[in-house]
Amino acid sequence: MGSYPTTKLLQFYVTRQLALINPSEDTGVIINYVNPGLCYTELARNAGFGFWVMISIMRLLLARSAEVGSRTLLHAAFAGEETHGKFLSACEVKE
């Protein structure tokens, strides 16, 4: 679990670099990085007991429904060129 924030940061930088070397004007493709947030789903159903307990507690306190989380995915799918190379979270462009 210790490398999770580093991995997310690396994904963010890779997305930015891909967007930089592949401008949407040339490719017709918009590249963005999407964060749907912590959603109440069954993705952790096969996790070990300790991790499952931790995720369950975080879900009780922080999670949103899968439908609400999917709104950010749809926002990214239909967003315009202003989101190229950007981080999208909660249906907004974030820094």
Catalytic residue list: 4, 8
Residue 35: both structure tokens together: 């964060």
Q: How far is CA 23 from CA 33, 35, 48, 51, in A?
A: 15, 22, 42, 40
Q: Which residues contact 56 (CB under 8 A, 6 or more apart)?
A: none
